[in-house]
Amino acid sequence: MRRGTDRAHAAPAAPPQIGVAAVVQILIVDDHPLFREALRGAVTAVLDGAEVEEADGVDAACRVLERQRNLDLVLLDLGMPGVAGFEGMIALRSRFPRVPVVIVSGHEDPRVMREAIRLGAAGFVPKSIERPVLAEALRAVLNGEVYMPAGTPAAPAGEARGEGIAARLAELTPQQLRVLQMIRQGLLNKQIAHELGIGETTVKAHVSEVLRKLKVVSRTQAVIETAKLDLSALERIAGGRERPDA
């Protein structure tokens, strides 16, 4: 994992251009137009010739990603209307697992940063980041590395051992997220099959996978484990696929 340069001990930075052989395509996802504009300016300043798309929310981001399959990177804000916590990132990672997602957030709590990486983010950069550091972060992620800000402390032993329910939810496919949402609504397998237009045997297989990935032994335990999470946004976004993974 790449840690950001310690600015206090760094040598004077050269102009923060990142040389790339091909045009880099980046999607900025944030509900504030002024911040999108500022981040676009910063990205194009450090990535010569970069093509930048914008989206004002996760739904809009999904539409862009469906339309443009060659995007290299998503820069995603955490705090947007309609999604809570890491739900937006989990939804994007579930539907578009090949596209790396970097969290750009005003939250600078190390626990938030570590959780983002644990859930599959390719990096975490604070909104207060300086352009030379942004250049370093983008270079690292585009080279297949995971980026964390300099000085981010390692996880305490207890946190490192614990695997939160959100991390387990990140392993579910969009169809499994739909099934979990219906389990939480109290629907039986036959009812779920009718709602999704699939066979009851297929539903049973999905339920088994949901329980296995959540590391629970019953539907009731799955409901209890996810009771504090709002899965409606995930289920709605997962529903955007033209053909469910039945």
With contact defined as beta carbons under 8 Å apart, do 75 and 28 qualify?
A: yes
DSSP run (H or E) holding 51: strand 51-55
Is residue 110 domain-shared with residue 228, that is, in the same domain? Answer: no
With contact defined as beta carbons under 8 Å apart, do 74 and 100 qualify?
A: yes
pLDDT in tens, 71-101: 999 999 987 877 777 888 888 887 888 899 9
pLDDT in tens, 47-65: 888 999 999 999 999 999 9
Give the per-residue pLDDT at 78: 84
With contact defined as beta carbons under 8 Å apart, do 183 and 221 qualify?
A: no
Q: What is the pLDDT along the chain (246 residues), one digit of tens a residue?
A: 666 654 333 333 443 444 444 689 999 999 999 999 999 999 999 888 899 999 999 999 999 999 998 899 999 998 787 777 788 888 888 788 889 999 998 888 888 888 888 778 899 998 888 899 999 999 899 988 999 888 776 666 555 444 567 778 878 888 998 899 898 888 999 999 999 999 999 999 999 999 888 888 788 878 877 765 665 555 554 555 444 455
Give the per-residue pLDDT at 155: 62
The reply to whether 246 falls in a domain is no
Is residue 173 domain-shared with residue 223, that is, in the same domain? Answer: yes
Round to whole Å and give the CA distance between 150 and 154.
Answer: 11
Is residue 210 domain-shared with residue 98, that is, in the same domain? Answer: no
Q: Is 241 helix (H, G, I), strand (E, B) or coil?
A: coil
Give the per-residue pLDDT at 26: 96
Is residue 144 domain-shared with residue 205, that is, in the same domain? Answer: no
Give residue 42's Cα distance to chain centre.
Answer: 21
Choose the final residue of a domain: 90, 125, 148.
148
Choose the final residue of a domain: 124, 148, 172.
148
Radius of gyration of the chain, Cα coordinates, nearest whole angstrom: 19
The reply to whether 156 falls in a domain is no
Domain membership of residue 174 as a residue range: 163-238
The CATH number assigned to the domain holding 65 equals 3.40.50.2300
Round to whole Å and give the CA distance between 135 and 89.
Answer: 22
The reply to whether 155 falls in a domain is no
Choose the final residue of a domain: 118, 148, 178.
148
The reply to whether 158 falls in a domain is no
Total domain count, the chain: 2
Residues in CB range of 219: below 8 A, 6 or more apart? 183, 207, 211
The reply to whether 154 falls in a domain is no
The CATH number assigned to the domain holding 191 equals 1.10.10.10
Give the per-residue pLDDT at 38: 93
Is residue 36 domain-shared with residue 139, that is, in the same domain? Answer: yes
With contact defined as beta carbons under 8 Å apart, do 75 and 99 qualify?
A: no
Is residue 112 domain-shared with residue 201, that is, in the same domain? Answer: no
Is residue 105 domain-shared with residue 222, that is, in the same domain? Answer: no
Is residue 133 domain-shared with residue 167, that is, in the same domain? Answer: no
Is residue 172 domain-shared with residue 75, that is, in the same domain? Answer: no
